[in-house]
């Protein structure tokens, strides 16, 4: 099952008792902070959860899956996630 933003807002609303508007504002603000940090090339570490890292991909050879033609893929930045040891243990029931 996928956890949506709306479900996250509902969960904050029911567990903490904040209004839905305030809960939504908190979720949106947190996500905007994370996005802006990643956009500027900085990593985001959330202790006990994991680390979002921005990685640089070089230009490389690729292939168009529709036609099979060779092509060059442009350099780009990607975001990776590495979960913390605590989260990994919790997922594995340790």
Residue with tokens 């479900």: 7
**pTM for this predicted structure:** 0.80
Instruction: For residue range 4-38, list pLDDT tens digits in order.
Output: 999 999 999 999 999 999 999 999 999 999 999 99
* Domain around 70: 41-94
Q: Do both 19 and 45 map to the same domain? A: no
Q: Do both 86 and 57 map to the same domain? A: yes
CATH number reported for the structural domain that contains residue 47 in this entry: 4.10.520.10
Tokens (6 digits) for 33: 């902070």
Q: Do both 58 and 91 map to the same domain? A: yes
CA distance 21 to 41: 30
Structural domain total, the chain: 2
Which pLDDT score, from 0 to 100, does residue 47 have?
A: 95
**Residue 1 or 25, more confident:** 25
- Name 37's Cβ contacts closer than 8 Å, sequence gap at least 6: 43, 44
Q: Do both 20 and 50 map to the same domain? A: no
């Amino acid at each position: 099952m996928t956890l949506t933003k709306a479900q996250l807002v509902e969960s904050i609303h029911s567990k903490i008792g904040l209004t839905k508007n305030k809960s939504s504002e908190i979720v949106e603000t947190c996500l905007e902070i994370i996005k802006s940090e990643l956009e500027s090339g900085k990593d985001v570490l959330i202790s006990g959860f994991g680390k979002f890292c921005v990685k640089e991909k070089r230009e490389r050879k690729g292939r168009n899956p529709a036609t099979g033609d060779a092509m060059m893929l442009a350099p780009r930045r990607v975001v990776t996630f590495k979960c913390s040891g605590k989260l990994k243990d919790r997922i594995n029931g340790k």
